[in-house]
Amino acid sequence: MKTGHSDQAGMLSGPSPLPSPAAALRRCLLGLDGLSRYAICTSMAIMVLLVSAQVFCRYVLSESIDWADEMSRLAFVWAVFLAIPHGLKQGVHVGIDVLINRLPARLQEGLARLMLAVSGVLMVVVCYQAVLVAIDGWGELMPTVPVSASVFYVPVMLSCGHALLHLLFMAWQGTRVWADDEEEAA
């Protein structure tokens, strides 16, 4: 039989496991992060291959690939925007914390969670505007390939959705929710 003392020691030994809805969302986010990393690597590979092929064609063959600049730029945009949620998750975004570092830890965490929620609202606004702009310009084609210029807005929308999930998850579970993953990776 357990005594009150051992129960109390168990509570003080460390953080409790995430509740099941949080654990399920965490697993979904980890899966989404994996897919996103794959898409980022693919975009980067496309960009590097296109730029390398363009350089080879220009300087060795004295020819040019008409669409290489545009498509490598598109791959770059995809890679950059798909990487933004990963930066948010790890907390490597730009921030000014001179004032907040002087506040008590509990207030720092509360303000951080509030800012995560506000940032989530901003992601909704940006995504909504990206959808409107993409719909408005869907008929406009890129100069060198018969593809809508609005495909540049698709990674913005995906990034906003992915970032929103991370921001809301951290606002709900706390800013250190991914700390175990950071320590395992190090």
Distance CA 80, CA 137 (A): 22
The per-residue pLDDT for 4 is 47
Q: How many domains does the chain have?
A: 1
Q: Is residue 48 part of a domain?
A: yes
Largest CA distance in the chain: 83
Global model pTM greater than 0.85: no
The per-residue pLDDT for 95 is 77
Distance CA 148, CA 139 (A): 6
Q: Which runs of consecutive H residues, i.e. helices, occur in the chain?
A: 4-12, 20-59, 68-90, 105-136, 154-173, 179-185
Could you write out the three-class secondary structure of 112-123? Answer: HHHHHHHHHHHH
Give me the domain span that covers residue 56.
Answer: 22-177
Distance CA 54, CA 65 (A): 6
Q: Is residue 185 part of a domain?
A: no
Question: What are phi and psi for residue 102, nearest 5 degrees?
Answer: -90, -5
The per-residue pLDDT for 16 is 60
The per-residue pLDDT for 155 is 97
Q: Is residue 10 part of a domain?
A: no
Within 10 angstroms of residue 177's Cβ, the number of other Cβ atoms is 19
The per-residue pLDDT for 130 is 97
The per-residue pLDDT for 98 is 83
The per-residue pLDDT for 183 is 56
Q: Is residue 74 part of a domain?
A: yes
Q: Is residue 117 part of a domain?
A: yes
Q: Is residue 5 part of a domain?
A: no
Q: Is residue 17 part of a domain?
A: no
The per-residue pLDDT for 9 is 46
Q: Is residue 102 part of a domain?
A: yes
The per-residue pLDDT for 182 is 58
Mean pLDDT by runs of 10 across the 186 residues of the chain is 46 59 92 97 97 94 91 96 94 81 90 94 97 95 92 96 96 87 57
